[in-house]
Amino acid sequence: MTVSAVEILRGFDADSIAYRQLGSADQENATEVLSIIAAGDNMPRFVAANGSKEGIPFETNQLAALITQCGVFGCDASAVALYYQKVDNLSGRVAAATAGHSKIDAALARMYISNITAGNRTLAAARGRIVPVSDGTNAPLIRTGAVAIDTVLPTTDEAFVLGPISVHGTKLQACNGLDINLNPVEWDLSDESFEHTTYAANNTVAPVISFTTTDPTALSYHKVALTSLNKFRAHLIRKKRNGTYFANNETQHIRVEVVNGIILVQTVSNSPREYRVEIHATGADADGYAGVPIAFTVNSAVALPA
């Protein structure tokens, strides 16, 4: 037996936004199985597919594009198309203009961010999920073979690393391991025992930002409240192609800001001593549903302390 068919991920489009810097974008069918064991029997005599919750978890370095599109609460990303490029045995990638590749289409789809990570000299990455939704008749994901993908062009335009972090107007030294976890709780629903998801929406987010620092002043912020005058601010610094990085005053970076919540120092460990800091973000009380617990500003200058 020989291996004769291999494909690799080329990228995906979400509402015409191209994502090409991908660590992964893998289809999940998550099909439930209805299994019946008769009284007194020791094995099932009946199995049937009992509905699926299709999804496409992904990882990307295109933070600016993803944050702009999804925001904090996710978005309608319809339509979504995933592209796969064929690879020939004894040769390599088949020419993109050749109609030998495949794509998977989701006419209706929701997309949201789960978390964003960045570190010292470590390329920042975002993880999220696409939820394909059926219109009640058609499958949410439809594969088409024998297509050309010469319009699916590669790009490596975005690269961010961890920049400075400040708390209560003071810059913390030697920060690393930033994790911005939005903790989204999502609804993906169906009815009348239909095979596929027909409804997808955000329920809640509960952002927790964590990072480590060797700055001993971190411990003084334990259980301290964040306010508009004493906020948390972090930056993701954009790297420059064939260079080093954009200057602080150039509006190319990403700013992360929290003005309501509490700071906790959860662990102190190692030698030299390392402090693990958490920011539990909240919305403003009684703001008429207008605010967000965490604010992202794309194409920002670096401004610290603040």
- CA–CA distances in Å: residue 268 to residues 65, 140, 291: 36, 48, 33
- Tens digit of pLDDT per residue, the chain (306 long)? 677 789 999 999 999 999 999 999 999 999 999 999 999 999 999 999 999 999 999 999 999 999 999 999 999 999 999 999 999 998 999 999 999 999 999 999 999 999 999 999 999 999 999 999 999 999 999 999 999 999 999 999 999 999 999 999 899 999 999 999 999 999 999 988 999 999 999 999 999 999 999 999 999 999 999 999 999 999 999 999 999 999 999 999 999 999 999 999 998 998 889 999 999 999 998 888 888 999 999 999 999 775
CA atoms within 13 A on the CB side of 223: 0
Question: For residue 129, which of 218, 216, 27 has the smallest C-alpha distance?
Answer: 27
Give the whole-angstrom CA distance, residue 95 versus residue 100: 9
Give the whole-angstrom CA distance, residue 9 versus residue 298: 27
Tens digit of pLDDT for each residue in 136-160? 999 999 999 999 999 999 999 999 9
Instruction: Burial-class residue 255 by CB neighbours within 10 Å (0-12, 13-18, 19+).
Output: buried
Task: List the domain boundaries for the chain.
Answer: 6-30+52-300
C-beta neighbour count of 274 within 10 angstroms: 17
